[in-house]
Chains A and B, each alone.
Chain A
Amino acid sequence: MADGGTTEGKGIGARVLRKEDWRHLAGKAKFTGDFQRPGQKEMAFVRSEVAHARIVSVTKPAGFESSVFTAKDMPDMQPMRAPSKMPGYKGADYPALAIGKVRFVGEPVAVCIADTRAEAEDLAQATLVEFGELPAVVDMLAAKAGDAPLIHEDWGDNLVMETFADDDFGKIADRATVVVKREYRMARHAMNPMEGRAVFAEWDDRTDQLMMWTSTQVPHLIRTGLAQFLGLEQRQVRVIAPDVGGGFGCKALLQPEEVIAGWLTRHLEVPVRWIEDRREHLVTGANCREHHYFVTIHATPEGRILGLDCDVTIDAGAYSVYPFTNGLEGAMAHGNLPGPYDIEVYRCRTQTMTTNKPPLMPYRGVARPGVCYAMEMTIDALARDIGVEAHDIRTMSMVKQEQLPFMSIAKKHFDSGDYAKSVEMVVDMIGLDKIRSEQISANGEGRLVGVGMGSFVEQTAHGTSVFASWGVAMVPGYEQATVRLTPDGGLELRIGVQSHGQGMETSMAQMAYEVLGIDPSQVTVTHGDTGLTPYSTGTYASRSMVMAGGATARACRVLAERMEIIAAHLLQCERAEVTVRGGKIVSGKGEVSFAEIGRVWYLNPDELPDDVDQGGIEVTMGYRPEPDSGAFTYASHACKVAVDIDTGEVEVLDYAIVEDCGTMVNPMIVEGQTYGGATQGIGTALLEESTYDSFGNPGASTFADYMMPGATDAPHYRIDHMESPSPFTEYGIKGMGEGGTIPTPAAIGNAINDALKTIGAEVTETPFTPRRVRAAIAAANKNRQGDAA
């Protein structure tokens, strides 16, 4: 039996510095936009300038007709279709190039190709589209009106999907005498990985394959989708994700531009390249987070939460995205609103509406930053109403450690941890008592200080049963990893997920070290290439470390057994006497190096025993946790803010995090993911917003009018860990890539409202910009004057 590592500590739990750093530091990384071939063409798009219209005509620039393509020129390119088995779901096909109608500003209408991007853009500019404008549906609530214009005429309404759960509130009526109701909005925004989307495609005649390098998190899904919508067999498509400059969800879906690039290179027999510019990203990628909530909490006079009643509206934009659909967000909102709380009755309705905006996509945390914000803000409102500390409501109402494993009211199967302890720890870290006395001594003029927190529990690495219940076309199964010993004793590790900042070239090598004791520097991790790696649904849902890491461990264990058989023969001892340890096979009779095993298997098989495993020293193993209902990460964030009551400006003065993602493989990476996620959450809370006018025209198309969190906006985070291994996963690992984003808007919103409580003002709409904060203060002042009158 392999028992892996030595005491050097490069396995699970070690802060191993990343193997992938050096190419980036040297400027030698290779992103999709860095590919260039002689004779390649650059693509540029003619995009819709109106939110809703019939396409009356497209006039191509004279003399360049063969360089401009509309859907009519590509009759064999199918619209992207993402079916869902959700009851009543109406998903609209997403045409890569608009057919007949456009439904959002930025929708691709035609594609132009030329030798340089500038020339392609010249063609795009010279292409004239005549639109027959239709009234646009810009707001998700307005989309519900009986007389709202229809975005998809054949639907009869604008409802994508509805979920509903009801319960008998009579059960708690005599105990839950406090009822608090609030309304919230979370603004639409854009994910903004620093590398936008990009694609480079060429047809390889030698292999008869479409070769596509694309900035994606899910190369295998892209292959499946491309084949389907281009009418190819999947063996004819190879997708490679080279270095990818961040994804956060918007690269976990098939993109129109990928389908179009595939079509062009196949039919024109030239390599084509498209690199999204930031304006395209901000306009067409304004695709996430937009939710509206009514939340009612029913609680005892002490603040024990007993019931939750929610009405959620989700703005899903114009089309359904492949493969996750635009119904996922509603299903997730429904399942996550009760958070870590042990409540008795839950009523929830979600309505997912179609609007004339870009199709909604799952952004890091997916629906959870929204639901956590709505729930946690209401908890603090309750605390203010009844005059207790909000953290007491939390600890009192959370599922207790001794109740785990526990089936939550929203049917989430919590595995392990101590949720209330994370609250107590973070309250301590932020120094609540000290902030309270500061608040008392402050005179209430100018800058007000507030403290707030947010807690969540996050289902990660959920598998087959969960995705099947959401009815999506793509359901993940056993995740696979391949390990192969090279003739000189190195290790090649191939995983079907894709690493775009998560450091998997390091953390997966740490898994191999954990089992085999092989130094991470001797392990090459290959990912993101459908030609070289096992099929995988890819990197999303905080799943890679659990799933591909688990598969890696299993494959390494089988490899160890096979090496042990060979080593026992070479050492002329019993199989039971040898063990893989510290990157060698050791026994009382001596040791055999991995290089020796490689040499014998590949080059001197005459030295092999008769009973050798004929599969050799290359192993593919699959893994999925059992049960596959997910490993539940949780965390509590707390922050201290100062609010300038004259300008409405909010400054984050301190920020504390206590998180528990089970067994940490590389704590350095865990912390990095958490800080990065939290900073995106700060963007959601304070800065980021894709605005629209009443015609559906986007108002934020550059970084001058779309505010991203910079180094001065991000606080100096403080972090502490708990480590409650999941009983369901290899080594007790839980996923953690998304969690940092989830409670940040809640924590900041609560801190602002805490600061404003003496005025009686509350913010209820993100981002909490100076304008909104001032408006909240003005409304409270007006209220008070009204009361006084």
Chain B
Amino acid sequence: MTELTLKINGEDVTADVETRLSLADFIRDHRRLTGTHLGCEHGVCGACTVLMNGEPVRSCITFAVVADGTEITTIEGFEDDDPMTLLRQAFHENHALQCGYCTPGMLVAARDIVTRLPDADEDRVRLELAGNLCRCTGYVGIVNAILSVIEKRRL
């Protein structure tokens, strides 16, 4: 067991965890933040994406102990976040989700895209989304939603 101290969604957390525990399992099973989803557990689908110190990471292939001393933001932690508020509304209006399973990871990845690449066009958005799989939507609504937020943030 290893002691772990970190901040999750602004809250200080200390825990004693098995070294082999993934950050995703720590978030979901130990902290009961089940908005972070697992779609592959081998780092491809992006469903488990969370922010670590503001950068998107795949929590399924990140050990919990690696997160020691970091600040983690999960989908539950964006309440007053402007880009996320815009993205949620845009995902809703553009029918960017069907089953909703990929959605939390998509939103975290999308937030990274709109904040990092204010000039991204459709091709770039698609390229940036290559690490997030959605089986339902064909990406149409997702791409449109992200582009609409980029556009809004430009104004």
Binding site for B on A (CB under 8 A): 17-18, 20-31, 33-34, 36, 116-118, 192-195, 243-246, 248, 275, 277-279, 500-503, 668-669, 671-673, 675-680, 702-704, 708, 710-712, 714, 716-717, 740
A193 to B40, CA, bound (A): 11
A46 to B93, CA, bound (A): 45
| B122-152 CB contacts (< 8 Å) to partner A | 122, 125-127, 129-143
A243 to B130, CA, bound (A): 25
Closest 8 pairs between A and B when the two form their complex, measured CB to CB: A27-B35, A245-B101, A24-B100, A27-B75, A675-B138, A501-B98, A501-B99, A679-B138
A668 to B94, CA, bound (A): 9
20 contacts between A and B (CB under 8 A): A17-B92, A24-B103, A24-B104, A27-B35, A27-B74, A27-B76, A33-B28, A195-B39, A245-B99, A277-B38, A279-B42, A669-B95, A672-B98, A672-B140, A703-B45, A708-B135, A710-B139, A711-B125, A711-B139, A717-B140
B100 near A501: Cβ-Cβ < 8 Å = yes
- With known contacts A675-B140, A676-B138, A702-B44, A712–B32 Cβ distance under 8 A: no
- With known contacts A17-B92, A193-B99, A277-B41, A710–B36 Cβ distance under 8 A: no
Closest B residue, CB atoms, query A117: B25
A708 to B98, CA, bound (A): 18
A716 near B122: Cβ-Cβ < 8 Å = yes
Please give, as numbers and ranges, the residues of chain A lying within 8 Å of B153 by CB-CB distance.
none
Please give, as numbers and ranges, the residues of chain B lying within 8 Å of A36 by CB-CB distance.
29, 32
- With known contacts A25-B97, A194-B102, A710-B133, A245–B37 Cβ distance under 8 A: yes
- With known contacts A25-B97, A27-B75, A712–B130 Cβ distance under 8 A: yes
A9 to B148, CA, bound (A): 25
A220 to B42, CA, bound (A): 34
A194 near B134: Cβ-Cβ < 8 Å = yes
A703 near B142: Cβ-Cβ < 8 Å = no
Please give, as numbers and ranges, the residues of chain A lying within 8 Å of B23 by CB-CB distance.
none
Please give, as numbers and ranges, the residues of chain B lying within 8 Å of A31 by CB-CB distance.
34, 37, 101
B11 at the interface (CB under 8 A from A): no
B88 at the interface (CB under 8 A from A): yes
Please give, as numbers and ranges, the residues of chain B lying within 8 Å of A248 by CB-CB distance.
135
A439 to B47, CA, bound (A): 41
B96 to chain A, nearest CB (A): 9
Please give, as numbers and ranges, the residues of chain A lying within 8 Å of B140 by CB-CB distance.
671-672, 675, 714, 716-717
Please give, as numbers and ranges, the residues of chain B lying within 8 Å of A20 by CB-CB distance.
100
Closest B residue, CB atoms, query A35: B34
Closest A residue, CB atoms, query B129: A711
Please give, as numbers and ranges, the residues of chain A lying within 8 Å of B29 by CB-CB distance.
36, 116
A500 near B45: Cβ-Cβ < 8 Å = no
B142 near A711: Cβ-Cβ < 8 Å = yes
B104 near A27: Cβ-Cβ < 8 Å = yes
- With known contacts A194-B101, A246-B135, A672-B140, A34–B92 Cβ distance under 8 A: no
What total of chain B residues lie within 8 Å of the partner, measured CB to CB? Answer: 56
A31 to B101, CA, bound (A): 8
| B54-100 CB contacts (< 8 Å) to partner A | 74-76, 88, 91-93, 95, 97-100
A193 near B101: Cβ-Cβ < 8 Å = yes
Binding site for A on B (CB under 8 A): 18, 20-21, 25, 28-29, 32-42, 44-45, 47, 74-76, 88, 91-93, 95, 97-104, 107, 122, 125-127, 129-143
B37 near A703: Cβ-Cβ < 8 Å = no
A503 to B122, CA, bound (A): 26
B132 near A711: Cβ-Cβ < 8 Å = yes
Please give, as numbers and ranges, the residues of chain A lying within 8 Å of B125 by CB-CB distance.
711
Please give, as numbers and ranges, the residues of chain A lying within 8 Å of B28 by CB-CB distance.
33-34
Please give, as numbers and ranges, the residues of chain B lying within 8 Å of A672 by CB-CB distance.
95, 98, 136-138, 140-141
A25 near B129: Cβ-Cβ < 8 Å = no
A500 near B103: Cβ-Cβ < 8 Å = no
A716 to B143, CA, bound (A): 10
A677 to B103, CA, bound (A): 18
Closest B residue, CB atoms, query A704: B44
A502 near B134: Cβ-Cβ < 8 Å = no
B138 near A21: Cβ-Cβ < 8 Å = no
**Best-surrounded residue of B32, B44, B139 (most CB of chain A within 10 A):** B139
Closest A residue, CB atoms, query B87: A25
Closest B residue, CB atoms, query A281: B40
**Best-surrounded residue of B34, B45, B143 (most CB of chain A within 10 A):** B34
B36 near A118: Cβ-Cβ < 8 Å = no
The contact of A245 among B88, B100, B137, by CB within 8 Å, is: B100
Further 14 A-B residue pairs, CB within 8 A, beyond A194-B133, A672-B137: A27-B36, A27-B74, A33-B38, A118-B21, A193-B135, A244-B99, A278-B39, A503-B98, A672-B95, A675-B141, A676-B138, A703-B44, A708-B135, A716-B122
A25 to B35, CA, bound (A): 9
**Best-surrounded residue of B35, B74, B91, B132 (most CB of chain A within 10 A):** B35
**Best-surrounded residue of B25, B41, B136, B137 (most CB of chain A within 10 A):** B136
